Structure 1
């Protein structure tokens, strides 16, 4: 048995992480919608009427930008710069809305007075939404975009006629207070403080997102590893291997069933056929056989050319290993016969399936080096099962099982074993290659 354990370098191409990333973006979109709805309610309550009428179309625009970014992320034509363009558009639009005087507000106020409303805090709402995307670079870009667009807007307001950007020097306290109370006054120190705090927040948030991304990638890698394990093991075995530390580091012996399946006449059949047809047929057969193994809680050890090796009772034995192996062997022969009679199997020609199964003591554990480990099943039981599969050619049948397997299956489930035995016939003792003692077997013709 040879399941090779290697460490894979996981990144953005990991399909599990990509799925999680898209799911997170969907959550971010819904969070954005909820935030906009709350802001719309606040605007309706706090802004003098009919001032809110200007904000509603802008909020619709924010909704469209969010949907556009979400759809672009899922589109096959997406590019890396698309998400950065949408982020910049978000913060540029927000800066415009916060700094441009609302013409619907029924007060005659200078443009600079828009800085007195404390609306800068809305930048942090958009910044928080970006944290859902698992992209620290995007979060940083959001902070830079906000700082840049806000600074440009403040600079434009400061350049307008009548703008006051510095209090008079050397004047008394009353003059200073009057200057600061002037609606044309812009406190550049406060504006600088806003930008620096925003950039610091973006940096800290990017660090947190980077950490979250690393954790998400690690979880995605583990999920991929479990998926890969599920290609070889039944689900309960995958859970065992995934939740225990070095579950197979200590070699051990226990009872298990070993099954070998192989195609008869495959070499002759494939000799004159194109490679594409050969691989296609082989994949279909492998899928049929592997599905049968998994359906009966077996472990797929490996594909051996046009055949496979499977075990029942690894890495942990159960009270149904023998009956599962016996039932799987009979079903495997039937499934292959049905496939040959189907439309898909019309090109199978003289191909036949040979199955051999034995039950006994196996040696189970990791072999190899610290850099490359293999999960191995060894022992005489494996050798006997392989010889039984080869015996199909000698006695002209489709499946050969040992009486040791049948006796163990009867002890586990007499009823299920009886159903399988109704299909099998005793052949008598066989002298297997490489063994001096005979082996009692049953066969399926």
Structure 2
């Protein structure tokens, strides 16, 4: 009597539980176990000498009803129905689990893509960019702040050091600088050896791009100071960096081959920012900023954020004929650079 159909649904719970593993093979295997177990139980009873085989429910005949209710009676139709039901449910659940598995894998790929995207842009832009079909759009021109940071004397630091030590130093530098970029809401454009390029206002302009760029530069210098304290405690050489900042129009778009595209920020603004970073050696300072960026900061938040900066006489950067008005972080002198004459620096009004 225990092998009558009302008890069979409890066996299907095994198939239902197997779906939580998100494995179609496990679901099919569980369904086979249910079918075989139920069939073996029916078969053992059917082999008894007193077993009575039948097919289907009895009619209104009292004799047929008594025959059906006999504990030794086996309904072959009920067994076939149970087996068919188990196979059908197993098949449906296996298909559902297979599609669910594909959806989970697709979601995992999306999360990995977002994680990779988060390594290049600030976290507050990841969701926005990930939801758009063409987040960067066609090539366009817009204003942005460009930051370049480079380790001064990196070649000398590498001399006599093992490749593993150089790689560890670079990774530590890149990790700290990238953290500063993301904390200031910037986009990490690229690493080129010991140099870092970051943009503020790409791919979408903001109301404080120039301000955030200067804040990022200050964060970089503070982070480097903290790291240098650790390096001194470990008898490791300290690092000095030069930072250049500029603000102006840039061209944004994909460059390269169709099989290897790279989202690039190009233009004279980028070139000037790079030249200002190189100029930090000559001016013996850790930070050189164009007057254009200072003016933009004043438009965004006022005068207060440029405290500590001093205006320098116009300089001609390499590759340009017109002189560029620059500001320097006068209170932070770069000891790795040649000295600068005090007459070359004029305090801003």
**TM-score band w.r.t. shorter chain:** 0.7 to 0.9
Residues of 1 paired with 2:54 and 2:226: CA distance?
90
TM superposition shift of 1:299: 0.4
TM superposition shift of 1:186: 1.2
TM superposition shift of 1:188: 2.4
What is the match of residue 117 of structure 2? 229
What is the match of residue 65 of structure 1? none
What is the match of residue 343 of structure 2? none
Sort the Cα spacing of 1:354 and 1:347 in 2 relative to 1 into closer, same or farther, 3 A: farther
What is the match of residue 310 of structure 1? 198
What is the match of residue 440 of structure 1? 325
What is the match of residue 337 of structure 2? none
Residues of 2 paired with 1:370 and 1:274: CA distance?
38
1:15-61: CA deviations, max 9, x gaps?
Answer: xxxxxxxxxxxxxxxxxxxxxxxxxxxxxxxxxxxxxxxxxxxxxxx
What is the match of residue 183 of structure 2? 295
Residues of 1 paired with 2:255 and 2:241: CA distance?
31
Report the TM-score, using the length of structure 2 for normalisation. 0.87
TM superposition shift of 1:392: 1.4
Asked whether the 8 Å contact 2:146–2:198 carries over to 1, the reply is: yes
The answer as to 2:27 corresponding to 1:139 is yes
The answer as to 2:316 corresponding to 1:431 is yes
Report the TM-score, using the length of structure 1 for normalisation. 0.69
TM superposition shift of 1:431: 1.3
What is the match of residue 304 of structure 2? 418
RMSD: 2.0
TM superposition shift of 1:322: 0.3
1:139-181: CA deviations, max 9, x gaps?
Answer: 11111111112222222222234222347xxxxx776544333
Secondary structure at the aligned position of 2:71 is classed as coil
TM superposition shift of 1:288: 1.1
Secondary structure at the aligned position of 1:314 is classed as coil
Asked whether the 8 Å contact 2:121–2:188 carries over to 1, the reply is: yes
What is the match of residue 274 of structure 1? 162
Sort the Cα spacing of 1:292 and 1:363 in 2 relative to 1 into closer, same or farther, 3 A: same
Listed as ranges, the matches of 1:343-354 within 5 Å are 343=231, 346-349=234-237, 351-354=239-242
TM superposition shift of 1:126: 2.7
Secondary structure at the aligned position of 1:148 is classed as helix
Residues of 2 paired with 1:344 and 1:189: CA distance?
85
Asked whether the 8 Å contact 2:12–2:34 carries over to 1, the reply is: no
The answer as to 2:218 corresponding to 1:330 is yes
What is the match of residue 336 of structure 2? none
Listed as ranges, the matches of 1:150-299 within 5 Å are 150-166=38-54, 176-299=64-187
Secondary structure at the aligned position of 1:342 is classed as helix
Secondary structure at the aligned position of 2:115 is classed as helix
Sort the Cα spacing of 1:347 and 1:399 in 2 relative to 1 into closer, same or farther, 3 A: farther
Secondary structure at the aligned position of 1:411 is classed as helix
Sort the Cα spacing of 1:315 and 1:348 in 2 relative to 1 into closer, same or farther, 3 A: farther
Sort the Cα spacing of 1:178 and 1:330 in 2 relative to 1 into closer, same or farther, 3 A: closer
Secondary structure at the aligned position of 1:115 is classed as coil
Residues of 2 paired with 1:403 and 1:395: CA distance?
16
TM superposition shift of 1:250: 1.2
Asked whether the 8 Å contact 2:5–2:79 carries over to 1, the reply is: no
The answer as to 2:21 corresponding to 1:129 is no
TM superposition shift of 1:407: 0.7
Sort the Cα spacing of 1:386 and 1:347 in 2 relative to 1 into closer, same or farther, 3 A: farther
The answer as to 2:290 corresponding to 1:396 is no
Secondary structure at the aligned position of 2:146 is classed as strand
Unaligned runs of 5+ residues in structure 2 are: 56-60, 334-349
TM superposition shift of 1:314: 0.3
Residues of 1 paired with 2:100 and 2:106: CA distance?
10
Residues of 1 paired with 2:123 and 2:232: CA distance?
29
TM superposition shift of 1:183: 0.9
1:343-384: CA deviations, max 9, x gaps?
Answer: 577454253111111100011122334433221111111111
Residues of 2 paired with 1:261 and 1:348: CA distance?
21
Residues of 2 paired with 1:189 and 1:316: CA distance?
69
Listed as ranges, the matches of 1:106-121 within 5 Å are 113-116=1-4, 118-121=6-9
Sort the Cα spacing of 1:346 and 1:430 in 2 relative to 1 into closer, same or farther, 3 A: farther
Residues of 2 paired with 1:161 and 1:265: CA distance?
97
TM superposition shift of 1:313: 0.3
The answer as to 2:253 corresponding to 1:368 is no
Residues of 2 paired with 1:156 and 1:164: CA distance?
13
TM superposition shift of 1:296: 0.7
